[in-house]
Amino acid sequence: MRIVAENLSYVYSEKSKSLAVQALSGVSVTVESGEFFGIVGKTGSGKSTFVQHLNGLIKVGKDKGKLTVGDFDLTDKRCDYRALRSRVGMVFQYPEYQLFAETVREDVAFGLKNFMPDLGENDMEERIKTALELVGLDYEKIKDKSPFELSGGQKRRVAIAGVIVTRPEILVLDEPAAGLDPKGKREFIALLKRLHEKFVKTVIIVSHDMNLISENCDRAAVFSGGRIVAVGTPKEIFTDNEDILSDGLDLPLTAYVTKRLKEQGIDVNNDLTEEGFISAVALKYGGGK
């Protein structure tokens, strides 16, 4: 499913003039099916507001632009939000706080029962099993445990299983790695890549972590003050783009080192992934591996 936003705007508390906040103003962007797409920007730049539009949690206002997700036209009043939400999965910040059921199995089944109430018992079990195993948990061991007796990392995995269990085509994650230790973070990103390769077509990830973006995303958009100020491959965004720095965001480490080297007259042209950077340096200095 392709996402096309055209001139999308949103104002919080529009009715009261003193409290109104323009969260989005004229955002236009296209996310192709199959992309690993990043969204960066500082707090209050409108990125969360934008992604909440994608599954209709925030509805497109009248005369506030256009938004289509696959065949769903979100400006249309008759848009089937339930069907849309089953195709666009959304994982919020600290998703473990949404757990509520008595057992892990029940919690993962929640979305499935809501979206596909007619599913047979066997199919349901099969899907729950697949989802839990995809996020790296042992189905047999964990299914009857209470979600509240799990560790933080496990809780987060269960919460994500609860979202991907309906097999969405697009998975949106808002700061999914927040609060994880470095090892947890690495494992988590590996999990996302696995999901993207095998299970969900499009992954959209909102993050402050520029290294995560440059390392994994095909393309990314930079939000600032409710607008998109840059969109493209990590290389395009993080090279010669001083306004990103001036907006209080960091460059990814690879981009920073490449830039400093260039200032010293050493040109290592690379795609800003760790591997790309290392092989560019290796190539330049004739070492190879």
- Residue 289 DSSP SS3: coil
- Residue 188 DSSP SS3: helix
Nearest in space to 241 (alpha carbons), one of 256, 263, 219: 256
Nearest in space to 206 (alpha carbons), one of 91, 99, 95, 96: 91
Residue 211 binds other proteins, judged by CB under 8 A: no
Residue 285 binds other proteins, judged by CB under 8 A: no
Touching other proteins, residues 57-76 (CB under 8 A): 57
- Separation of CA 121 from chain center: 31
Residue 111 binds other proteins, judged by CB under 8 A: yes
**Nearest approach, Cβ of residue 174 and other proteins (Å):** 10
Phi, psi of 156 (to 5 degrees): -60, -40
Residue 92 binds other proteins, judged by CB under 8 A: yes
Q: CA 196, CA 178: separation in Å to the nearest integer?
A: 20
Stretch that binds other proteins, among 158-166, 232-240, 252-260, 266-274 (CB under 8 A): 158-166
Burial class (CB in 10 A: 0-12, 13-18, 19+), 265: exposed
Q: Name which of 28 and 98 has its Cβ closer to other proteins.
A: 98
Q: What is the DSSP letter of 195?
A: H
Residue 52 binds other proteins, judged by CB under 8 A: yes
Q: CA 171, CA 238: separation in Å to the nearest integer?
A: 25
Q: Name which of 27 and 163 has its Cβ closer to other proteins.
A: 163
Residue 105 binds other proteins, judged by CB under 8 A: no
Residue 86 binds other proteins, judged by CB under 8 A: yes
Could you say which of 4, 115, 184, 257 contacts other proteins (CB under 8 A)?
A: 115
Residue 163 binds other proteins, judged by CB under 8 A: yes
Q: Name which of 25 and 98 has its Cβ closer to other proteins.
A: 98
Nearest in space to 3 (alpha carbons), one of 59, 51, 61, 41: 51
Binding residues (CB under 8 A) for other proteins: these are 13, 52, 55, 57, 82, 85-86, 89-90, 92, 95, 97-101, 110-111, 114-115, 148, 162-163, 166
